[in-house]
Structure 1
């Protein structure tokens, strides 16, 4: 559906298979170079501030040469003013899911573009509501292993879909990348264009 502007290369600074899938789904070709940064949030930092700062840090930590554009992102879950990152163990995953149980929370994804001539960033915000879960459901979901490595201890595109009652805002933001916002920025900057050569 889209193609990179000739002469440009796109680098995705993420190990997330979900972000790779989202970008690949719209036809973009890109290299993958996961960035390794300290994802600890700073005291007093909001989820929006942390997500944008971490996305920028990942973009800047990724080597890039002339003609290369780096895209990085960071997703956080927040509820009651508390930021929920990735659970360190199963007990922490259970605690996170119990906190989200039957309630609405916000998913925040910061994204950042490192360009040959500068930087640009953006933010995706979505509200997600969990249905009321029985303790046995939470235990079974944690035993599946899926919550590990996921912000807020769930994956809306996986087994976690059974936990989510409603999503308000960008669904792909909850998956890990607000795709419409990212594509809009890439188009505005002239980095991509619709691929008119494609055939149905």
Structure 2
């Protein structure tokens, strides 16, 4: 049995756009979960747990496949989510300046009561940033809803020296690994006759 459709449990336009690059049509159903971190929860466990909770919050036990994801930035075991204010965003970028941090994305899929959850890690090397650079970047208004307070697919790319690992993971959804998991659920994007409505 293959899914009759795909539901993305996310408010992220970036995740939707990435899935659409695979020729998938997705229905957006925003999840309703508490995204607070549990005490002593590491970044990998956090993103996997939140992705599973997001998928669970919209799963309707019908013939559609649900995909959910969560992304955080991790520097020396300190987890950075989305900045709540300009001050917090400024502090995040100051801490990331000149260092290598990890971006973790957890992905959870459920179809026909079968659940799979995994996570991917990418190392991101930031250049040295001064206050002027951080203020300039914050003024562009593209980082307010991004983990770690930057957008690698936008002007935030000038803050990055290099990455080791999946670029799309840093954007918010590791596409290669997601495509591999989709195939396990019968969604084989490489087939000529592939179609999910």
The normalised TM-score by structure 1 is 0.92
Structure-1 residue corresponding to 2:81? 85
* Counterpart mapping for 1:69-84 below 5 A: 69-84=65-80
Displacement after TM superposition at 1:195 (Å): 3.7
Partners of 1:137 and 1:62 in 2: how far apart? 40
* Counterpart mapping for 1:85-164 below 5 A: 85-164=81-160
* Counterpart mapping for 1:40-51 below 5 A: 40-51=36-47
Q: Does the CA-based 8 Å contact 2:179-2:189 persist in structure 1?
A: no
| CA distance 1:138–1:114, shift in 2 (3 Å) | same
Displacement after TM superposition at 1:142 (Å): 1.2
Partners of 1:38 and 1:60 in 2: how far apart? 13
Partners of 1:119 and 1:6 in 2: how far apart? 15
Partners of 1:6 and 1:57 in 2: how far apart? 23
From 161, 176, 196, give the equivalent of 2:192. Answer: 196
| CA distance 1:7–1:84, shift in 2 (3 Å) | closer
Partners of 2:27 and 2:77 in 1: how far apart? 36
Partners of 1:133 and 1:81 in 2: how far apart? 21
Q: Does the CA-based 8 Å contact 1:8-1:191 persist in structure 2?
A: no
2:165 maps to 1:179: no
Structure-2 residue corresponding to 1:59? 55
User: RMSD value over aligned CA atoms?
Assistant: 1.5
Displacement after TM superposition at 1:191 (Å): 2.8
Structure-2 residue corresponding to 1:25? 21
Partners of 1:102 and 1:135 in 2: how far apart? 13
SS in 2 for 1:52: helix
Partners of 1:118 and 1:131 in 2: how far apart? 42
Aligned residues: 194
Greater shift, 29-38 or 149-158, is seen at 29-38
Q: Does the CA-based 8 Å contact 2:105-2:173 persist in structure 1?
A: yes
Displacement after TM superposition at 1:96 (Å): 0.2
| CA distance 1:63–1:120, shift in 2 (3 Å) | closer
The normalised TM-score by structure 2 is 0.94
